[in-house]
Amino acid sequence: MAVTQVAYEVEGWGVGELWLDRGRVVWHDLPFPRVTTPNGAGGELVERLQAYFEGRPDSFDDVDLDLEYETPFLERCAHELRAIPRGEVVTYGELAALAGAPGAARAAGSFCARNRLGLFVPCHRVVSADGLGSYGSYGVEYKRRLLEVEGVTL
């Protein structure tokens, strides 16, 4: 595996990082204020990410992702999440049901909590049954901001 690390900056959001293996996304850290210097690599994909944060719609469903590390259920969660349109949300229970395991809301939540493919597997579109839910180390306000970019207000 020849992984290339790509740092990119998005005004008002911070610096994000991608790890690519021959064009396939294997890891993605969302932009966040941090001390990392963008390296100018990544080309079109970085431009698409920057445009997304500026409000341009993009599903990223054409981006090849490394999902081979997942169990079959969690891989189904990833595929189902990629099919949820911009501007829509589902609950953890709904995601579990879509992935073929009704009642596995906790497992779906655990998957989202450790998602390493930010925007490409849009876990920010998954909310709790009684509100917004969490968003790991980025925090609930980051999740709210992502949803607002997509036109969702909760």
Catalytically active residues are 123
In whole angstroms, give the CA distance from residue 117 to residue 78.
10
The H or E element containing residue 110 is helix 105-113
DSSP string, the chain: --EEEEEEEETTTEEEEEEEETTEEEEEEEEES-S----S--HHHHHHHHHHHTT-----TTS-B--TTS-HHHHHHHHHHHHSPTT--EEHHHHHHHTT-TT-HHHHHHHHHT-SBGGGS-GGGEEBTTB----GGG-HHHHHHHHHHTT---
